[in-house]
Amino acid sequence: MKQVTGRNQKVSSVIVSTVKNMVNAGTKDYIIAEAFDVSIATIQNIKRTGYDYGKYRKLINKQMVEWKMLRDGKPNNETTLVAKVDNFDRLEEKVDLLISRFAKVFPKVK
């Protein structure tokens, strides 16, 4: 696939509109991804932004900044920290549930 404007940019507005047509025709995401030599996540991001190239670019740029910040160990804002704490709380609940299930299946023997 010929690269379009931008550094290492594979997705163009033409590709976004073509992806929309392929999705509307019922083509599976993995087939579309193979056709354009991109990841399935790229196709899902295009769909998530409503097939709007401008929104897609903003989403990708935001993701790149967040990944760089996480890689460098610098959270970019409070939302990132809240999400991490929220995920930890859910994880803790699931671990507690799992422990109680194990206790029922494998009761303590005296």
Please state, in angstroms and rounded to a whole number, the distance separating the CA atoms of residues 73 and 68.
8
Largest CA distance in the chain: 71
Using 50, 70 and 90 to split pLDDT, how confident is the model at 37?
A: very high
Please state, in angstroms and rounded to a whole number, the distance separating the CA atoms of residues 108 and 78.
43
Q: What is the pLDDT of residue 84?
A: 55
Say if residues 3 and 9 touch (Cβ distance below 8 Å): yes
Tokens representing 106 are 């494998």
Domain residue limits, the chain: 1-75, 77-110
Q: How far is CA 105 from CA 47, 94, 96, 98, in A?
A: 44, 17, 14, 11
Q: Does pLDDT of 33 surpass 70?
A: yes
Query: What is the pLDDT of the chain when averaged over all its residues?
Result: 80
Tokens representing 26 are 């019922």
Tokens 């005296």 label which residue? Answer: 110
- Residue range 77-91, pLDDT digits in tens: 555 555 555 566 677
